[in-house]
Structure 1
């Protein structure tokens, strides 16, 4: 569970901490005891006091890798212990009917989708914390003490989760920005993005995990209830034609005159009749009382 180089590093740190704390605390204790005891006796007693103070500190440093894993899984450990011991205590002090009633009261709400949805949002926050730690251990090269980003807390959002991280010395936000696809795959998410969570401290960053697209869902707007049935009928504009004396009288339009163009012989893809190419026939309607201008059009 604990890598060898990490275990050796913490063992070395525990030894260093033991001797440093023993010497410092022993000298301080010997200086204080020298007023009432012989200097040699005070030095021996100071050494013992320093060793007693340094031993717990060195022990905590030595077993810190194990304590760190326990802290990571503390919510699950407390939930499992509470479930098991809670049911045992319930079984010892209640009857079968009371136990069934309590179990039904706790489990029946999970039949409603709204309750399951909120419970799953909290569960995904816990899962994302573990997945991020596993992902960081794979692609972030830390020192011998395995100083990976420290996962602070997580909260659910409308599309996923937001997780706050504290970057240890030697790490920067750019180390995470180049690994967004790997982080998304590790968290079983659609996509992730990272941003600073503090304007004054670059070590505090936030990872936003998106598991679904909020724009694809249907949003029920209360504004539709304010629209009446009469407003739903949109009046169409009506086109009014002026058929008076100043308007267009279709009875005054004469028949179209068709101008036949002379057929030209084509040679080598060009019109070769000694004249310019004739234009297309133009049909000009003549209104009653108007001058016929078709003769002026070539």
Structure 2
């Protein structure tokens, strides 16, 4: 519930700050919330520990660590796998940083019960990451839009934007912008340019290629301009259509 901190009448009024209290839930709800928020980390740690124990029993601890090191080097060296891991890493970071930012931001980002929007999932994009959220009763995407200036530095990004779904107002996304594809020294490849190069190499049947153009100058006839009729110093052409 929201409370307003008021100053005495004699004190100078500077600002009014609203304090939001986190709603109290049962331990079952808290455990489920922790599992949902940390699902990616729990899954990764479980897979790594399980693979390490299994390889340790099969080939020994030394060979198991060598296999883990080799897989890590392959992931880092190959560009597609490196970009995949890099994008998923920032998706995990954005979910935690966005939740912390919405709880600590000066703008109102929760309803009167102190509940934040549900964070559904995060996906990498060409410019950064996109985090999908579901608003609860008493809040809207406009509340999150007022906190975009706090979300960008909280996620270590250059900008943050709001993406709304027209068909469903309760579903929206926060775009975390980390890079600009147009901000490059090398020009971007256009698909139209590639299509033109492919079509330019093909010549239609029974068609002669254009090797040159013949320009024939046309004679220009000079037309004499008639002098306008002047009566008493007035030009009559101004009154005749």
TM over 0.5: yes
> TM-score, normalised to structure 2's length?
0.62
Report the CA distance between 1:141 and its aligned residue.
5.8
In terms of fraction of residues, the more strand-rich structure is 2
Retained in 2: the 8 A contact 1:164–1:197? no
- Residue ranges of structure 1 left out of the alignment (5+ in a row): 14-60, 247-298
Q: Distance in 1 between matches of 2:28 and 2:153?
A: 32
Report the CA distance between 1:64 and its aligned residue.
3.0
- TM-aligned CA distance change 1:127 to 1:235, over 3 Å: farther
Q: Distance in 2 between matches of 1:146 and 1:68?
A: 15
Q: Distance in 2 between matches of 1:161 and 1:130?
A: 13
**1:117 alignment counterpart:** 83
1:219 aligns with 2:227: no
- Residue ranges of structure 2 left out of the alignment (5+ in a row): 1-20, 202-209, 221-241
**2:143 alignment counterpart:** 175
- TM-aligned CA distance change 1:179 to 1:142, over 3 Å: closer
- TM-aligned CA distance change 1:116 to 1:237, over 3 Å: farther
Q: Aligned to 2:84, what secondary structure does the other structure show?
A: helix
Report the CA distance between 1:179 and its aligned residue.
1.9
Report the CA distance between 1:104 and its aligned residue.
2.2
Task: Give the one of 97, 117, 130 matched to 2:96.
Answer: 130
Matches within 5 A, 1:137-148: 137-139=103-105, 140=108, 142=110, 146-148=114-116
Matches within 5 A, 1:61-140: 61-62=26-27, 64-95=29-60, 96-97=62-63, 100-101=66-67, 103-105=69-71, 107-139=73-105, 140=108
Q: Distance in 1 between matches of 2:101 and 2:212?
A: 61
Number of residue pairs matched by the alignment: 189
In terms of fraction of residues, the more helix-rich structure is 1
- TM-aligned CA distance change 1:83 to 1:179, over 3 Å: same
Q: Distance in 2 between matches of 1:145 and 1:83?
A: 39
- TM-aligned CA distance change 1:141 to 1:181, over 3 Å: closer
Superposition RMSD in Å = 3.7
> TM-score, normalised to structure 1's length?
0.52
Deviations along 1:90-121, one digit per CA (max 9) or x if unpaired, are 11222455763565246424212222112111
- TM-aligned CA distance change 1:215 to 1:90, over 3 Å: same
Q: Aligned to 1:214, what secondary structure does the other structure show?
A: coil
Q: Distance in 2 between matches of 1:65 and 1:161?
A: 27
Q: Aligned to 1:77, what secondary structure does the other structure show?
A: helix
Q: Aligned to 1:216, what secondary structure does the other structure show?
A: coil
**1:187 alignment counterpart:** 155
